[in-house]
Structure 1
Amino acid sequence: MANRLRRRLTQARAERRGILMGFLPAGYPDPDRFRLAAGAAFEAGLDALEVSMPGPAPALDGPLIQAAALQASHHLGSIAEALELAASSRRDPGDSIIALAYARTLERLPADEFLDALAAADIDGVLLPQHPVAEQLEIGARARERGIEPVIFLHLQEDLALLSSGVFPDPFIYLQSAEGQTGGRFNAAKAAERLGELAEAFGERPYGVCVGFGVRGHEEVQRLMVAGADGAIIGTRLVAAANEGPEPVAAIVDEVAPILVRRDEARA
């Protein structure tokens, strides 16, 4: 049976809408407020929440997320604790949790042990943004054996051939909209160009794609839906809102939800 994340993507396609993903470091701003913020996002209609594991964020992330990750790490003693906290933030049995692990996490913990921990905690997806695509696909195959859906992080055009080869069927892709850090300025033209390259590379082969980096709200998500994305990822703005309380977090989801509408025919 497909897991929560895959079911949510399939349901959204049938309803001709995009999905909304968010991001928070596990335990930020503290465990209680994390749970409140994540719960408010889910109650407002968030489809899936990426939750980063304890430890410093890399340069790939902007200064706000780096500071938030450091603050969150002071509150959690282990990966198991972070996963338990993330799973407890669900407000509905269908709410999806994606564990985001930076390279340092899998330097300390072998990939299979990490995947076993995800399965034990009832986590739905895994995202490894610092790993090469070939390694993401290899680990992703082992994740699927455990009922966990890998989210493949794509930022290099030269990886398109491998990703679209059919070796890994129907991948779910996190597409970096443009070069730079999270929280930077959104480049609508570059995002549309990258979505077009992805569609051309895959042809008739199935895939799902959500776009992140610089996506803040209504305007960016609307452009992505028109350009053929299956969804959008809001990170930095959601992290900032979590520090203010659950109401600002819910307001972001409420703002975006009405425009998660498919506009294209090719990706319907």
Structure 2
Amino acid sequence: MDNRTGDGGGSTGTAGGTGGIRLLDSVLAQARAEHRAALVGYLPAGFPTVDGGIEACVALLESGCDIVEVGLPHSDPVLDGPVIQTADDIALRGGVRIADVVRTVREAHAATGKPVLCMTYWNPVDRYGVERFAAELAAAGGAGCILPDLPVEESGAWRKAAEQHGLATVFVVAPSSRDERLAKITAAGSGFVYAASLMGVTGTRESVGREAQQLVARTRETTRLPVCVGLGVSNAAQAEEVAAFADGVIVGSAFVKKLLAHPDDLKSGLEDVRTLAAELAAGVRRGAVR
């Protein structure tokens, strides 16, 4: 998000929060007990509108996603690809604020009872106030926060606030992370580990898939936390493939594309989102998690 922060729009949480991390842990454990990977969906708040984004998040959770990540739109999302950058730009031009992100989390969780996390770059949280952000996210029923650009060494204030309010702190690891770095990151995190990689262009997918599988194996050597993979998955066959070696399959751009394809027809976009979520859910259930 840019410098607009707005009002939180939520009541302040108390120490211990809502226990969102307990719900997250339970859902991931249940998927494991069912011998499958969890399906994790992602959509930015405020896209295509605030109300439309809430409907889309609910649609994901009702159609097969076990968990949803609500993105906090940023004016310079350097770690996101062009599809999510486009959605973020639409949300920002629509005037989305942190209050809308919190509202999206609240209403998606309230409608489904499922875990909803916020995925955000660090700067908006820092500007808004770490304690304030954690308290409002917890009061909204949030399960935690994914912070892709927050170094572990600088995460103490956030982790303290998150623990006080019952929120998970999810860190991101990459194939370039050395083993000692993986151990440091996973020791500081909670909820799950986000293993980031790319499917690559046509013709390179097999080798990139192997790299992601190796990253999951290396990460598991350092932690007992579930390891969920963001790989650019867009169909059931790919979801099944990733589910064979990961504890969770994270899908974002494919859902955003469905909504972008219907800029003036939210109903059709939601129908496509529901269909894709159901197909992906079937895919992760065919994948065999060790």
AA matched with 1:162: K
Task: Indicate the residue corresponding to 1:258 in structure 2.
Answer: 282
CA distance in 2, matches of 1:172, 1:141: 17
CA distance in 2, matches of 1:89, 1:9: 18
Task: Indicate the residue corresponding to 1:194 in structure 2.
Answer: 215
Indicate conservation of the 8 Å contact 1:4/1:94, yes or no: no
Task: Indicate the residue corresponding to 1:238 in structure 2.
Answer: 255
1:133-167 Cα deviation digits (max 9, x unpaired): 33347623531221111222112413212135xx4
Of 217, 226, 237, the residue aligned with 1:208 is 226
Task: Indicate the residue corresponding to 2:159 in structure 1.
Answer: 140
**Per-residue deviation, 1:212:** 0.4
CA distance in 2, matches of 1:235, 1:77: 19
Task: Indicate the residue corresponding to 1:157 in structure 2.
Answer: 177
Residue 89, structure 1, aligned to residue 89, structure 2: no
Q: Secondary structure at the match of 2:36?
A: coil
CA distance in 2, matches of 1:57, 1:4: 32
Q: Secondary structure at the match of 1:157?
A: coil
Q: What is the aligned length?
A: 256
Indicate conservation of the 8 Å contact 1:238/1:252, yes or no: yes
Structure 2 stretches of 5 or more lacking a match? 1-18, 263-268
CA distance in 2, matches of 1:47, 1:174: 15
Structure 2 length normalisation: TM-score? 0.79
Q: Secondary structure at the match of 1:260?
A: helix
**Per-residue deviation, 1:249:** 0.5
Percent identity of equivalent pairs: 30
Which segment drifts farther, 13-22 or 53-62? 53-62
Structure 1 length normalisation: TM-score? 0.85
1:172-199 Cα deviation digits (max 9, x unpaired): 101002498xxx9682121112112112
Structure 1 stretches of 5 or more lacking a match? none
**Per-residue deviation, 1:81:** 2.4
**Per-residue deviation, 1:128:** 0.6
Instruction: State how 1:119-130 maps to structure 2 within 5 Å.
Output: 119-130=138-149
Cα RMSD after superposing both structures: 2.5
Distance verdict in 2 for CA 1:94–1:136, change over 3 Å: farther
